[in-house]
Structure 1
Amino acid sequence: MTSPAIGRLRVDGATLHYEVRGKGPLLLLIPGGTGGAASYDGVADDLAADYTVASYDPRGMSRSPLDDPEARQRVEQHADDAFRLLELLSPGVPARVVGCSSGAIVALHLLTTHPGRIERVVAHEPPLVEVLPDVAEHRALLARVQDTLRREGPMPAAAVFAAGMRRPGADPVDAKAATELPPQAAARVARTMANMPYFLGRIVPSFMAYTPDVDRLKALSDRLVLAGGADSRGELPYRPAAFLAERFGTSFVHFPGGHTGLSTHPAEFGELLRKVLEIANVQAAS
């Protein structure tokens, strides 16, 4: 794996840690969940053959400290962070953006607010529960997560959250697997666990209450690839992107694996991502 160039960017209320590999047009990778820049390590080197690949730790995560650790988190501010990275790394030139999970929510807001800076967005399973017809059920889930977090702490709350994300009757996640990882992957898991209280307490309630500008997204849907995991059909994070693709009359791309296919199937995920971006390149040149 190639060592990336490391940078620090001051933004409003935080300092972002970002990493850059390769040469070519900018491809900004926005992490989701408790992950940071390292969540894209499995695909970044291959993509760097054709792109300047940048990723980062979102504000408040891992190596991107907040000035005020108690500051309220908003999708709009996280999207502005991504915009500042675009301005730094690709000034005046439209970029390609990939977001997974909560990072996909950031990518969608970035598209609606700065469309002139975006060539293409790939949004993999953004958990936009507010667009779903059964949103009341999911609001109740989020309330249970917050209640569990207050009463019992982050790990029980994480279990409630994970159970709500899966299909009814799906097998639980194998917690033992985290103890059987190679050292580098185990270090990423350790960072992930350290980020869990912040993610559940600050990111989840704000991001999953976010309502996108659906009409604006539809008007920009020629620049948008909505995607989900081949193994996560019917699960909560999968459903909003599938719902929006049907509403917009656009295609829906299935990536290998489930919600975390980026981590569980990195080679196959990266190969398909490259193909999706190549299609965007051809369309941009035509």
Structure 2
Amino acid sequence: MTVPTIGSLRVNGATLHYEVRGRGPLLLLIPGGTGGAASFDGIADDLAAAYTVATYDPRGMARSTLDDPEAEQHVAEHADDAYRMLELLSPGEPALVLGVSSGAIAALHLLTAHPERVARVVAHEPPVVEVLPDAAEHRVLITHVRETLRTQGLMPAMAVFAAGLRKEGDATEPKDGLELPPRAAARADQTMGDLPYFVGRIVPGFMSYAPDVRRLEGLSDRLVLAGGQDSPGELPYRAAAFLAERLGTEFQHFPGGHVGLTTHPEEFGEHLRRILRDSGAEGQARERTAC
């Protein structure tokens, strides 16, 4: 296991914890959900053989602290955090970016706000539900989650949220949640500790986000939208696939479901490398790094 270099970065309203390992073109990994830098432990070491891999805890999660713990959370601010990481670790050079779930939403905004800093974005199941024809239904879901959190508490709100993400007519729990690798299981306490912040701040702030589709159309050659092989029909997959269709780009499938990064880390990492290699982004970023 590679021992990462650990640092902290002061940004607007927060201090970010980050970790860097490896050599080569910068690959910034943006976590989603309640995952922080540790959610990439299963793939970071292998990727570090070819890249400088940077991971971090998003503001308010794990070791990244907020100046105001009650502050509302906005996609643009989280994307600016990612931009500040790029400026710190790869000043002036376009980088490779992977974002998962809510982290993929931040990655989409990063691409539209700072395209000159991004060689390629791989966005795995960003739940950009505002692009869907039935977006109004999902606005109701978000309101229901917030109201349930206020009146009944965390776990009932999580139940409402999870039910809204499942395939239509599917009353079972997602298969990806049944068994976790040891590293993921060890993060369970941290995950539970961050849930109130995630449900109360991240879910409403991110799932109400509408990406600039017209802007993304002009940048689609730098964007790879992806979903899990086991996810078709689930809300984040539907949103990502619909966006790919609107942009006229190929939709990639990763092993596992929405949390394939956690349940199938080796296969997930290998598929990511294949996408970057086949797209030519890896070579382009490497050439710029060598200049």
| TM-score normalised by length of structure 2 | 0.94
Structure-1 residue corresponding to 2:193: 194
Structure-1 residue corresponding to 2:276: 277
The secondary structure found in structure 2 opposite 1:237 is helix
List runs of 5+ in structure 2 lacking aligned partners: none
Structure-2 residue corresponding to 1:73: 73
Stretch of structure 1 that moved more, 27-36 or 242-251: 242-251
Residues 149-228 of structure 1 mapped to structure 2, 5 A cutoff: 149-170=149-170, 171-173=172-174, 177=178, 182=182, 184-228=183-227
Q: Give the deviation of 1:144 after TM superposition.
A: 1.1
Give the Cα–Cα distance (whole angstroms) in 2 for the partners of residues 95 and 69 of structure 1: 31
2:7 partner letter: G
Stretch of structure 1 that moved more, 239-248 or 45-54: 239-248
Structure-2 residue corresponding to 1:235: 234
Q: Deviations over 1:47-77 (max 9, x none)?
A: 1001000010000001001011011111000
Q: Deviations over 1:52-111 (max 9, x none)?
A: 000100000010010110111110000000000000000011000000000000000000
Structure-2 residue corresponding to 1:266: 265
Q: Give the deviation of 1:5 after TM superposition.
A: 1.1
Q: Deviations over 1:258-277 (max 9, x none)?
A: 10000011111111000011
Q: Deviations over 1:113-159 (max 9, x none)?
A: 00000000000000001110001111111111111101111111111
Residues 118-157 of structure 1 mapped to structure 2, 5 A cutoff: 118-157=118-157
1:274 partner letter: R
Give the Cα–Cα distance (whole angstroms) in 1 for the partners of residues 178 and 215 of structure 2: 42
| TM-score normalised by length of structure 1 | 0.95
Task: Quickly say closer, same or farther: Cα 1:174–1:114, change in 2 above 3 A.
Answer: closer
Task: Quickly say closer, same or farther: Cα 1:226–1:258, change in 2 above 3 A.
Answer: same
Identity rate, percent:
69
Residues 29-48 of structure 1 mapped to structure 2, 5 A cutoff: 29-48=29-48
Give the Cα–Cα distance (whole angstroms) in 2 for the partners of residues 283 and 19 of structure 1: 21
Q: Deviations over 1:141-187 (max 9, x none)?
A: 11111111011111111111111101133321479957x863x4333
Stretch of structure 1 that moved more, 185-194 or 55-64: 185-194
Contact 2:74 2:205 in 1 (8 A): yes
List runs of 5+ in structure 1 lacking aligned partners: none
Structure-2 residue corresponding to 1:249: 248
The secondary structure found in structure 2 opposite 1:16 is strand
1:138 partner letter: H
The secondary structure found in structure 1 opposite 2:55 is strand
Give the Cα–Cα distance (whole angstroms) in 2 for the partners of residues 250 and 219 of structure 1: 12
The secondary structure found in structure 1 opposite 2:168 is coil
Give the Cα–Cα distance (whole angstroms) in 2 for the partners of residues 106 and 191 of structure 1: 22
Give the Cα–Cα distance (whole angstroms) in 2 for the partners of residues 277 and 260 of structure 1: 20
Q: Deviations over 1:172-227 (max 9, x none)?
A: 1479957x863x43331111110000000001101111111000001100000000
Give the Cα–Cα distance (whole angstroms) in 1 for the partners of residues 2 and 137 of structure 2: 44
The secondary structure found in structure 2 opposite 1:7 is strand
| TM-align CA RMSD | 1.8
Task: Quickly say closer, same or farther: Cα 1:211–1:277, change in 2 above 3 A.
Answer: same
Task: Quickly say closer, same or farther: Cα 1:134–1:7, change in 2 above 3 A.
Answer: same
Give the Cα–Cα distance (whole angstroms) in 2 for the partners of residues 160 and 24 of structure 1: 43
The secondary structure found in structure 1 opposite 2:110 is helix
Give the Cα–Cα distance (whole angstroms) in 2 for the partners of residues 42 and 146 of structure 1: 32
Give the Cα–Cα distance (whole angstroms) in 1 for the partners of residues 282 and 64 of structure 2: 35
Task: Quickly say closer, same or farther: Cα 1:175–1:258, change in 2 above 3 A.
Answer: closer
Give the Cα–Cα distance (whole angstroms) in 1 for the partners of residues 199 and 138 of structure 2: 15
Structure-2 residue corresponding to 1:4: 4
Number of equivalences: 284
